[in-house]
Amino acid sequence: MRKTKFLLIALTILLAGCVKGQDIHKSSTATMTDTVTVVVPGNTKTPRPPTPINTPTQPLATPTLTLTPTAGVRFPRTECLEVVPKFPQTASRTGSVVFVAPSWGDIPPIKILNLETLEPIFIDYDAAGPGISPDRHWFAFEAERKLMLMDASGGIYEIVDWDEEWYLVEGWLNKNQILISKYPDSPPPSVPPLGVIDIRTKEYREIERNYPGIDYPEGAEEYDTLLSTTNLITFYNPRYPIVAYPGMKTFVLFDLSKKEIVAEVKDENIRPIFPPMWTPNGEYLLLAKEIYPPPGQRGHQEFFLISRDGTVSQITHFNDFHENSEIGGFSLSPDGQKVAFWFRDRAISWDENLYILDLQTLDVVDPCITSVRWDDGSTTGFDPNSPPIWSPDSKALATEVRLPRVDEKGLRVGRPQVLYLDITNGFAVKIAGDVGLIGWLVNQPAK
């Protein structure tokens, strides 16, 4: 369950749904630390509260996307990155990367690496359910029964006391509102609401999610599954009052302002493998799904785009050159131009390759980054399917990976580490080891 609480789910939602108000307790003294490198719980000062921001969330790179229909087979184009021991002197680096250490480690659970100075900051909190804000200024998590915010400098804000009915920080509705899941009933009679906390006013409300035709497990035996997938049920558009969710053998787009279904994509195999993501301009929903063939043939996985009016386009055809393709964790770049994802052919290998899909041209680039499994197929450490994370300017990636090596017994193994991938300048460099990758913050203070 701890591993689930480290899952980063990026949700950028303007607003939608039926909500109700509810009082919450204010937290004890809030915390802000700007200059020290180690923050110790209990030794705190009152910070200046985050400045209210009333404008809609804007991406850090201009989102544009013109969908081009798939035309022919596009075999991945090889553009290998050079793995180097340290950053080149001419390399441009921006922002700070946030990691979380495993519970059995002997270092503080949270680590922030300032990419401009390459100086780490260690935060002595056991964080649960972390989430990065859409504008990349805040890192939200629960620790010591408090809802907390952290910025790139390591400054800590205690926002409110953690309610006993809350389960996990799931993500953000927009740059001012944090999304919190609640414990579902067992057996669940309906979809549990989502809690929303405004970091400016500390007001709490709930979004009811009993949308028409939503497919929600009903058996008590799926209780644990519900706890780990609460955030995988509803996907809110960042620009329009539209929510997408799985129905019974359909995928539904629902207009929250008109209270009516915009479209139902009828496909019994449409349920996504990993959480779908809306493009930053709100025009398309990107999802990966399994395509089940006739009996006796192997299935495969492909990427699809669903427009906000319900038009479906298959944008990859991996099965044209792979027998049993599998898509791992994936993420959209902030400018909406590219998708970074893990990929493997289940028919021939356990290893996963990092690919980059251009949504304008539909070309796929292979940067020659492979994450290996043990020879017996088992895994260790963090899940190699974890999505890569884009830099705020969409020019670089950070990703968990197991680089291949051969041990003294001749077995091929991989040690977990985090790589920084400079897509523009063609190099990769290790920036951390034996940690889980959480997100990428900007170093500028919130306005």
Give residue-wise pLDDT tens across range 96-122: 999 988 765 566 789 999 999 999 999
Predicted pLDDT at 199: 96
Is residue 350 a contact partner of residue 384, using CB atoms and an 8 Å limit? no
Domain membership of residue 142 as a residue range: 127-210
Predicted pLDDT at 374: 58
Predicted pLDDT at 436: 86
Predicted pLDDT at 273: 66
Burial class from Cβ neighbours inside 10 Å (0-12, 13-18, 19+) for residue 238 reads buried
Would residue 174 count as lying in a domain?
yes
Would residue 297 count as lying in a domain?
no
**Run means of pLDDT, 10 residues per run, the chain, 447 residues:** 38 32 30 29 37 34 42 72 92 92 71 94 82 93 94 95 91 90 70 91 93 70 44 81 86 92 74 80 89 72 89 86 81 95 79 92 93 57 70 95 72 77 94 90 83
What are 167-220's pLDDT values in tens digits?
Answer: 889 888 888 999 998 887 656 557 788 899 999 999 999 998 889 988 875 543
Q: Report which residue type is found at 352.
A: E
pTM: 0.78
Would residue 268 count as lying in a domain?
no
Distances (CA, A) of 325 to 85, 377, 400: 32, 17, 21
Would residue 383 count as lying in a domain?
no
Would residue 205 count as lying in a domain?
yes
Is residue 237 a contact partner of residue 13, using CB atoms and an 8 Å limit? yes
Would residue 325 count as lying in a domain?
no
Predicted pLDDT at 204: 97
Q: End-to-end CA distance of the chain, in Å?
A: 36
Predicted pLDDT at 391: 96
Q: Which residues of 200-237 are buried (b: 16+ CB within 10 A; e: fewer)?
A: eebebbbbebebeebbbbeeeebeeebbeebbbbbbbb
**Of 304, 305, 299, 306, the residue nearest 326 (C-alpha):** 299
Predicted pLDDT at 215: 80
Predicted pLDDT at 137: 95
Predicted pLDDT at 48: 39
Would residue 176 count as lying in a domain?
yes
Would residue 295 count as lying in a domain?
no
Q: How many domains does the chain have?
A: 1
Is residue 75 a contact partner of residue 319, using CB atoms and an 8 Å limit? no
